[in-house]
Each structure stands twice: as C-alpha cells, then as structure tokens.
Chains A and B, each alone.
Chain A
Amino acid sequence: MSSALQVGFYPGCSLLGASEEYNISTKALEEPLGIKFVDVEDFNCCGASAGHSINPRISAGLNARNLYMASRKNNSVAVPCPACYNNLKTTSNNIKNDPQLAKQFDEDHDTMLNREMNVYSLLEFFYEKVGLQKIAEKVVKPLANYKVASYYGCLLVRPGKLTQFDDPERPASMDRIAEVCGAQVVDFQHKTECCGASFALSNKKMALSLSAKIVDGAIKTGANCIVVACPMCHQNLDLRQGQLAKYRKTTGNMPVIYFTQLIGLALGIDKLGLNKHSVKVAVS
C-alpha cells in the first residue's frame, strides 16, 4: 500500500533464529494495520553485551554500519530486541552529539552517514507510531478471557534518559495495548524486575530463582498469561519455565507470548508462531 506506514526493521540474530515467532507475528500485523516493515539489508550483529563492554568503539562501529544500512531505505528503524535497540539507539545518539564519531565512520566507509536516523523499540513503534486507536479499530476477537501480566524486562524502558519512552519504574504501554485488545490487565508488581538473564550460564541457580519470582508474581496477581516484548525475556520465562518449579510454586503452565502475538490473536490472525513456545498457549 502506498499509504502504508513504512519503517526499517532490524531483526537482529534472535528473530531469524530462536525467536522466529516474534518475527512471524510482527510481520503478520503488516497487512491489517497498514504497516510496511523493511528488513535492514545485510545487517550485522549489534554487539549484544559483549560489544559495548569490551570496547565501545566496536559497538559504535557495528551499530553505525547497521544504521547506515537501514538509512539506505528509511529514515527510521524499529528494533524488536531491546538489547539491539539499546545498542542502536546509544550509537544513534552518540552520532547526533559527536560529529567526530560520524565523520570517522564516513571516512572509514567512504560514505555519508545519516545523522538523523530515528531508532524505536518495536513496542514504542506500535504504541506511538501505529497508535492504540488503529489497533482498537481492527480488533475482531476481543481477548475477554485473558488476564495479562506485562513483563517489560530491563532494557525496554531503561535507562530512562536513553529510551525516553514510558516510565522506567512503572511502565504501562504494553498494558494499554493489552487493554485495547480486550484483555484484562492485572496489577503486576514485577514489571521491570531482573530475570537473571546475564547469569543464565554462569550462575544458573540465581537466574532461575529470579525468573521464578517473576512468574510466581504473575500467578499471585491472578494472571493467566504473561506478555513480553523481548526474545531474552521470552526465553527465560517460557523456555525455562519447566525448570522454575524448583524455586517457586510456579505451575509451569503460564503461557508467555509476545505482544505482537497478543495483538495478532485479537485481530483474528491464525499464523502467529504460537506453536513454537514451550508452554502451550491455551487461554480459556
């Protein structure tokens, strides 16, 4: 559609791999909501945690290239993974504030880097650019049986100065989206609590214990579904849910879905990759 809302899309490593369903469900929303996601051509790794902690220059370089590749088709890019988002946005801000950095890139790559690229998290894009109204208009199957606990994780709305989106301590954007989809939102207390992801390999017990607290917290507030916007959050709460029972009284039956899948369900879309989850998604 020529009048579609067009934006660059940076899938990162996870959406083309382990979190394929996040990609599937996001793209499935293009047609009904009039969006065109343009995948960034020949993108490279954003550096994840290793990049910026080992050498900030590496991180800047990697992400400047991603921004450059994205800028060849669009002035803005939506980023589904919060870690990629944090990396891309940090670099984009640095480029805006430090002309030397951008110039260095220009010289290294013999090109002209767009200084004004806009970087959005995918949640931010849906909440602010697509808008609740547009989503509400297309809802055909209000999710009346869903009692949703929205888990935001650590990098989606923090650091506040970087993301400048929603509230770093009491975010509510995903909750609002769940509401326009007809779902009930519970007073979830663990919205931004740590899931222990960075210790998933080095201190598994700690990571599992923290993740268990989150799922337990959702159960306690009466939720029957957790909604996330991050492949890592999803992995820790869904894939590992079976292992959490040892640490907290979790049932092992709490479905964890992406907010794009939630919207998809409300819009009556079939193919959302729900079968790829560990915990079966069956909300009665």
Chain B
Amino acid sequence: MRIGVFVCHCGSNIASTVDVEEVAHKSLELPYVKYAADIKYTCSDPGQKTIRTAIEEHSLTRIVIAACTPKIHEPTFRENAGLAQLNPYLVEMANIREHCSWVHENRGEATGKALLLVKKAVGKAAKLAQLFPSYTDVDKNVLVIGGGIAGIQASLDLANAGIKVWLVEKTPSIGGNMAKLDKTFPTIDCSACILTPKMVDVKRHKNIELMSYSEVDSVSGYVGNFDVRIRQKASYVDYEKCIGCGVCQQKCPYKSTNEFDAGIGQRKAIYIPFAQAVPLVATIEKDACRFFRTGKCKICQKLCPVDAVDFDMTDRVVEKKFGSIILATGFQEFDHSKYGEYGGGQFKDVLSGMQYERILSASGPTGGLIKRQSSGETPENIVFISCVGSRDDRFGHPYCSGICCMYIAKQAMLTKEHLPDSKVTVFYTDIRANGKAYEEFVRRAQEYYGVQYVRGRVSRIFEEDGRLTVGAFDTLLGEDTTINADLVVLGTGIEPDSTWKNMAGALKISTDSYGFYLEGHPKLRPVEANRAGVFLAGTCQAPKDIPSTIAQASAAASKTLGLLSTEKLQSDPMVSCVAEAKCIGCFRCRSVCPYDAIESIQLQERSFASVNKSVCEGCGNCNPACPTGAMSLLGYTNDQIVSEVIAVCQT
C-alpha cells in the first residue's frame, strides 16, 4: 500500500486560506503515505503530468487529491490515473475548497481542517478496491416525443444522419404551436411556409416513422435500451386509407371546440385540424361525435369515398426498444381568464396572443380579416398589454416568457399593415428584444409603423355599452391614462404543455417548479435531462423563440448521435452490488430503489436480489434498507465509510 497525496493551490482559491505546503508536508505522517506534494493547479496539463510522473516514479498504488469538489474534476483525475496504468477507481478526492477554503477565514483553523479532510481521504483510499466498468449494447433507434418544430428538427437531423427515428405526436397532426402562427418574427416569414416543407420532409423520410394521435404510455429500461409502450389512439378513421378530401367534415352535424383556432369558434366532430396537416387525414373526437353519443348518424362513413371510417377501431399499442429519447413536448398558452381585472375571460373583445394570431391568419376563423368578436365590426383602436401571466407571482409564473415582447411588436405591425388607419397602442413593462435583428424589429414598429408604446401596467379593462375602456398608468409621463379600445390583445405568456407531469413521471426525470424539464446543468448541459439517454429540445425545457428552439433541437440530435455512435456504452462501475451469501431475499432494497434497478434471481429455490448494473445510478438508497448488510455501493462500502469516520475521530 503506497499512497500519494497531492495538495492543490488552485491558484489563490485554496492557497490564500489554507497553508497547502504545510498540509502536504504533514500528510507524510499519515498511514501508508509514501509521497506528498503541493501543486499550483492539479487540473492543468503540467499538474496532471506531475501526478502521472509521481505514480510511476514512486510506484504509488492509491492517490489522494486534495482540491476542489469532485463534481468538477473527479473524472479528469480518474482518467489521468488510468493513463499512468493505475485503476481509475483507486483515486480519492478531498474537497478542501468548497468545503474548506471557500467557507472559512481563519488560516490556522482552515489548514487544520484541510489536514483532517486529507486524513479522512487517506483512510478511505487505503480501503479502495479496483473497479471495472461494464458495457452494454446501444439500440440504434431513437424516440422523439412531440411533433412541433423542435421534434421535427431533431427528427430530420437524426434521420439525415442515417438514424431511424420514431416521432410520436399526441394530436392528429405534427406542426405544434408554430403551425398556428400567422407570421414569425423577426423576418415576418409566413410560419406555415417555412414549417410545412419540414413537415412534408418528415412524412416522406424513409428513416422517420411518424405516429400521430399517439402518446407514450410507459418507459422502462436504461440508456441504450429503453423499452417503450406507445399508444396510438383510436381515431375511428383508417389513416392508411384516408385521402384527406374533407367531405366528411363538411356534412358532420356535430361540433366541438376548435383547438387549432385557440378556442375561437368551432370545428366538426370529424375533422382535419388544418389545411396543411401532416398526415392529411381526418380524426373523430369520440366525445363530440353524434354516433358515439346517440347511436345515430354515421354520415361521414356513408360519404367517405374510400371507406376509411371505422367506428369499431380500438387503441393500438406498440412496444419498441429505443437507444435514446428526445423530449420535445412544447408549450401551451397561459389561461388569461385568471385575470379578473382583464375580464376574466368573459369579454369577447379581449383576446389572448394566440387567439389574435389566428384572427390575423388567412387560414383562421375570420379569413385573416381583423374583426371584433362581439360585433363583427372592424376595430379602430387596438390595445396590446404585455406580461399577462408572466413575471407575475400571483399565478406562480414569476418568470419571463421571452417571446411576448416580440410577438406583440409583430402583431402590432401586422395590425397596421391590415388596418393602416387604426390606432395601435402597446402598454409595456420592459421591451425584451435580445435576439438577432430583434431590437431593430421593435424599433420599426415604433418608428415606421407608428405603434404607440406606453410604459405602464393596465390596471383594469372596463366593458361598457359594447366598448372597452383601458385604464393604465403612464409611468414616463407620470399620469393616469384611460383610452378607448375596440379590441384588446393580451401578451399571454407560456407554460409547459399539459403532458409535462405524465412525461416526467414516465421518464423519471425532474422538472423545475413550473413544470419545465430540468436540464443536466443550467449552463454546461442544456439539452440533457437528469437521466442518461434522455434529451430535451424546445420550450418544454424553458421559454424560447423559434431560432433557439431549432438550435437546441439540433444540439439534442447531435448529443444523441454521440451516444449512438459508440459500439458499446460504458457504464459507471460505482453501482450497488449484492453479496449473495448474505442476501435473505427480503427485497426491501427493491422497494426503495427509484430506478427499478433491482431484479430478482432464482437459485436453488432461493431468491436473491440482483442489481442491474446499467440501470443503477449509484444513489445508495438500497444500502441502509438492507437488513443484513448484503448490499453495498461500490466506492462507498461500509468498510470505506467507517475508515473515514475512524480517521476523523481518532486523534
């Protein structure tokens, strides 16, 4: 047993509070320590080289590195040991930065504590055993959940790289929220024009299997080997036969809420969601259908030229293995009826952002003509209100939705284009226009189109005699202002799509308190979820605009390609393992395992617990649950932990 101790200065981060030379010097007195040195930056190239040289020259069999938190550089030090032919798991770190120099001021005391931490690490190092990673196959199929622009982009990137992708979308057509938009900022591109080619690519691509009107029921397994159950819901229309002619929806007698038009107006019970839908097929909403409700009708079936309507259809479940999963479940609009002061959803001429977008759209409920919903007249005074459902603690949405300032400017300009003589006012809180060409975009609204920007919060919208009155405070002028409006558009914010809870549960990943999926690290790992093999793309992770969504989708695809390009996946060997001789088969370990990593094996009429090394995340929950001590977490065995305690407590 020959232990080497390396104490890092970390520049002045550690050295200014801890006497690192002293610590290195005193370490030589510890049991088994044959070599000790202090290094300016252990993580640097020369620092790493010093360690390798010491290992070779002094035949070190264990090393202790007293430096920063293992969360940053432990993998680096392990790999470095490996290069010097020392098993990477014979490395132990002592955190004398976050746990010592960064939280104490007294040099003497901090140095004493640092030495104690090194002593602890040395005690454990003496008990470390070699560990070897295991390898699993990687299934080369990828599941993308969500068929909006993020899911579409990720699917295309992967498919073009030769990967087989299954794209699962819960509504009858892909396209998501972007398909509902009229124009997109800052280019004022027609949204459908830039989106539909990609949608068609998805449909045609030989590497993409599109399952629309489908949802993911359950996911089990582990990275490289996910077992997924997908349910294709009964649409009562055979998608293979349907030619999308639309005759069925013309004659259908029953109606339902039009989700595509954000709740404005209605659509038929049998419907094609929009003209550019992919796949272009009809779907029957069972709860709205006359036949399902009363037993009479079936007009659609009679009229269908290709006999595609099938009232006996049932849900179809598909089970498939995937190597990795990309979550792209998108967003939904905030429900503005919560704002009592803006009419509580009762005022016909107060619309949400998406509702107004549909009014502006040529394919929308008014054929692209801006009309008051109450009277059908053309409005003359239009008011926009920023930050509805964002930056507001009242409804648990203190965050900024990121896109509203821009879409309000866009909609204001489009309003002026449609109705040049109208008076358009925007009541704003701040103007957040930080993307490329965004600031210039908002300026154009103000300077070229003459949209009136007033800084202030609208306190109330009054509806009297069929007219709206908007009362606000103009903070720049320092006075009250009350203006008449024919139409008010709320800059409604966004929140994660309603499926977030189910998806997070099914995939066993974390979300933040708003339901946005949690990324691996807010700065360094924005597209990985906190479970290996699951990636995130688009607004399901955080509010963002289309350019950022597409960039993130491609990033997720790129990470996926990295994962799939390895022949075998290497798994972390610091997992739990069962000493079979001690195991009594009580399976308390299984009941506390959050990852379903514990299996049961039968041998000679006895059951034992067995840990699936690829699924185990090394959390250690099973260890204290085990009554006989059969379960141990490699790298944190009872022996090793006790040795730490002894090292610290014995003076």
- Residue numbers of A with Cβ under 8 A of B are 167-170, 187, 189-190, 193, 217, 220-221
Q: Quick check: B465 and A169 within 8 Å, CB to CB? A: no
Taken together as a complex, chains A and B put the C-alpha atoms of A170 and B346 apart, in Å, by 11
Q: Quick check: A221 and B339 within 8 Å, CB to CB? A: no
- CB contact under 8 A between A220 and B463, given known A169-B339, A170-B340: no
What are the 7 closest A-B residue pairs judged by CB atoms, nearest first? A169-B340, A170-B340, A189-B462, A169-B341, A170-B344, A220-B464, A167-B340
Taken together as a complex, chains A and B put the C-alpha atoms of A176 and B384 apart, in Å, by 33
Interface centre among B340, B341, B465 (most CB of A within 10 A): B340
Complex: chain A residue closest to B463, CB-CB: A189
CB neighbors of A among B389-428 (8 A): none
Q: Is the interface of A mostly helix, strand, loop or mixed?
A: loop
From residue B468, how far is it (CB to closest CB) to chain A in Å? 10
Q: Quick check: B465 and A220 within 8 Å, CB to CB? A: yes
B460 contacts partner chain A, Cβ-Cβ < 8 Å: yes
11 contacts between A and B (CB under 8 A): A167-B340, A168-B340, A169-B339, A169-B344, A170-B344, A187-B463, A189-B463, A190-B462, A217-B462, A217-B464, A220-B464
**Contact mask B314-356 → A, CB, 8 Å, 1/0?**
0000000000000000000000000111001000000000000
In this complex, the interface size class of chain B, counting residues with CB under 8 Å from chain A, is under 10
Complex: chain B residue closest to A193, CB-CB: B460
Residues in chain B near residue A217, CB distance under 8 A: 462, 464
Residues in chain B near residue A221, CB distance under 8 A: 464
Taken together as a complex, chains A and B put the C-alpha atoms of A168 and B460 apart, in Å, by 13
Residues in chain A near residue B339, CB distance under 8 A: 169
Taken together as a complex, chains A and B put the C-alpha atoms of A167 and B339 apart, in Å, by 10
Residues in chain A near residue B344, CB distance under 8 A: 169-170
Complex: chain A residue closest to B343, CB-CB: A170
Taken together as a complex, chains A and B put the C-alpha atoms of A245 and B462 apart, in Å, by 22
Interface centre among A167, A169, A193 (most CB of B within 10 A): A169
Complex: chain B residue closest to A161, CB-CB: B394
- Residue numbers of B with Cβ under 8 A of A are 339-341, 344, 460, 462-465
Complex: chain A residue closest to B469, CB-CB: A189
From residue A28, how far is it (CB to closest CB) to chain B in Å? 33
Taken together as a complex, chains A and B put the C-alpha atoms of A186 and B98 apart, in Å, by 65
Residues in chain B near residue A168, CB distance under 8 A: 340
Complex: chain B residue closest to A190, CB-CB: B462
From residue A9, how far is it (CB to closest CB) to chain B in Å? 30
Interface centre among A168, A170, A217 (most CB of B within 10 A): A170
Complex: chain A residue closest to B344, CB-CB: A170
Residues in chain A near residue B464, CB distance under 8 A: 189, 217, 220-221
Residues in chain A near residue B460, CB distance under 8 A: 193
From residue B140, how far is it (CB to closest CB) to chain A in Å? 54
From residue A38, how far is it (CB to closest CB) to chain B in Å? 35
Residues in chain A near residue B465, CB distance under 8 A: 220
Apart from A169-B344, A189-B462, A220-B465, what 7 extra A-B contacts exist at CB < 8 Å? A168-B340, A169-B339, A169-B341, A170-B340, A170-B341, A170-B344, A217-B464
Residues in chain B near residue A169, CB distance under 8 A: 339-341, 344
Residues in chain B near residue A193, CB distance under 8 A: 460
Residues in chain A near residue B341, CB distance under 8 A: 169-170
From residue A157, how far is it (CB to closest CB) to chain B in Å? 10
Residues in chain A near residue B340, CB distance under 8 A: 167-170
Q: Is the interface of B mostly helix, strand, loop or mixed?
A: mixed
Complex: chain A residue closest to B346, CB-CB: A170
Taken together as a complex, chains A and B put the C-alpha atoms of A167 and B346 apart, in Å, by 15
Complex: chain B residue closest to A167, CB-CB: B340
Residues in chain A near residue B462, CB distance under 8 A: 189-190, 217
Complex: chain B residue closest to A187, CB-CB: B463
Residues in chain A near residue B463, CB distance under 8 A: 187, 189
Complex: chain A residue closest to B341, CB-CB: A169
Residues in chain B near residue A189, CB distance under 8 A: 462-464
From residue A248, how far is it (CB to closest CB) to chain B in Å? 13
Complex: chain B residue closest to A221, CB-CB: B464
Complex: chain A residue closest to B340, CB-CB: A169
Complex: chain B residue closest to A220, CB-CB: B464
Complex: chain B residue closest to A216, CB-CB: B464
Taken together as a complex, chains A and B put the C-alpha atoms of A169 and B458 apart, in Å, by 13
Complex: chain B residue closest to A168, CB-CB: B340
Residues in chain B near residue A187, CB distance under 8 A: 463
From residue A250, how far is it (CB to closest CB) to chain B in Å? 15
Taken together as a complex, chains A and B put the C-alpha atoms of A168 and B465 apart, in Å, by 24
Residues in chain B near residue A167, CB distance under 8 A: 340
Taken together as a complex, chains A and B put the C-alpha atoms of A189 and B344 apart, in Å, by 12
Taken together as a complex, chains A and B put the C-alpha atoms of A170 and B342 apart, in Å, by 10
Taken together as a complex, chains A and B put the C-alpha atoms of A217 and B460 apart, in Å, by 14
Taken together as a complex, chains A and B put the C-alpha atoms of A83 and B140 apart, in Å, by 69
From residue B292, how far is it (CB to closest CB) to chain A in Å? 36
Taken together as a complex, chains A and B put the C-alpha atoms of A189 and B471 apart, in Å, by 12
Taken together as a complex, chains A and B put the C-alpha atoms of A189 and B461 apart, in Å, by 9
Taken together as a complex, chains A and B put the C-alpha atoms of A220 and B465 apart, in Å, by 8
Taken together as a complex, chains A and B put the C-alpha atoms of A187 and B344 apart, in Å, by 13
Complex: chain A residue closest to B462, CB-CB: A189
Residues in chain B near residue A190, CB distance under 8 A: 462
Interface centre among B339, B462, B463 (most CB of A within 10 A): B462
Complex: chain A residue closest to B459, CB-CB: A193
Complex: chain A residue closest to B471, CB-CB: A193
Complex: chain A residue closest to B461, CB-CB: A189
Complex: chain A residue closest to B338, CB-CB: A169
Taken together as a complex, chains A and B put the C-alpha atoms of A167 and B460 apart, in Å, by 15
From residue A220, how far is it (CB to closest CB) to chain B in Å? 5
From residue B485, how far is it (CB to closest CB) to chain A in Å? 14
From residue A48, how far is it (CB to closest CB) to chain B in Å? 26
From residue A218, how far is it (CB to closest CB) to chain B in Å? 11
Taken together as a complex, chains A and B put the C-alpha atoms of A170 and B462 apart, in Å, by 12
From residue B188, how far is it (CB to closest CB) to chain A in Å? 36
Taken together as a complex, chains A and B put the C-alpha atoms of A190 and B344 apart, in Å, by 14
Taken together as a complex, chains A and B put the C-alpha atoms of A170 and B337 apart, in Å, by 11
From residue B295, how far is it (CB to closest CB) to chain A in Å? 39
Taken together as a complex, chains A and B put the C-alpha atoms of A109 and B340 apart, in Å, by 44
Taken together as a complex, chains A and B put the C-alpha atoms of A220 and B467 apart, in Å, by 12
Interface centre among A168, A187, A189, A220 (most CB of B within 10 A): A189
Taken together as a complex, chains A and B put the C-alpha atoms of A204 and B465 apart, in Å, by 30
Residues in chain B near residue A220, CB distance under 8 A: 464-465
Taken together as a complex, chains A and B put the C-alpha atoms of A107 and B40 apart, in Å, by 63
Complex: chain A residue closest to B460, CB-CB: A193
From residue A187, how far is it (CB to closest CB) to chain B in Å? 8
From residue B393, how far is it (CB to closest CB) to chain A in Å? 11
Taken together as a complex, chains A and B put the C-alpha atoms of A271 and B259 apart, in Å, by 56
Taken together as a complex, chains A and B put the C-alpha atoms of A190 and B460 apart, in Å, by 10
Complex: chain B residue closest to A191, CB-CB: B340
From residue A269, how far is it (CB to closest CB) to chain B in Å? 34
Complex: chain A residue closest to B465, CB-CB: A220
From residue B341, how far is it (CB to closest CB) to chain A in Å? 5
From residue A79, how far is it (CB to closest CB) to chain B in Å? 24
From residue B125, how far is it (CB to closest CB) to chain A in Å? 50
From residue B613, how far is it (CB to closest CB) to chain A in Å? 50
From residue A262, how far is it (CB to closest CB) to chain B in Å? 24
From residue B389, how far is it (CB to closest CB) to chain A in Å? 14
Taken together as a complex, chains A and B put the C-alpha atoms of A235 and B465 apart, in Å, by 28
From residue B336, how far is it (CB to closest CB) to chain A in Å? 12
Taken together as a complex, chains A and B put the C-alpha atoms of A278 and B442 apart, in Å, by 55
From residue A151, how far is it (CB to closest CB) to chain B in Å? 14
Taken together as a complex, chains A and B put the C-alpha atoms of A167 and B462 apart, in Å, by 17
Taken together as a complex, chains A and B put the C-alpha atoms of A167 and B343 apart, in Å, by 12
Complex: chain B residue closest to A170, CB-CB: B340
Taken together as a complex, chains A and B put the C-alpha atoms of A193 and B462 apart, in Å, by 11
Residues in chain B near residue A170, CB distance under 8 A: 340-341, 344
Taken together as a complex, chains A and B put the C-alpha atoms of A189 and B350 apart, in Å, by 15
Taken together as a complex, chains A and B put the C-alpha atoms of A169 and B465 apart, in Å, by 20
Taken together as a complex, chains A and B put the C-alpha atoms of A168 and B341 apart, in Å, by 9
Taken together as a complex, chains A and B put the C-alpha atoms of A168 and B463 apart, in Å, by 18
From residue B234, how far is it (CB to closest CB) to chain A in Å? 40
Taken together as a complex, chains A and B put the C-alpha atoms of A217 and B463 apart, in Å, by 10
From residue B158, how far is it (CB to closest CB) to chain A in Å? 48
Complex: chain B residue closest to A160, CB-CB: B394
Taken together as a complex, chains A and B put the C-alpha atoms of A221 and B462 apart, in Å, by 11
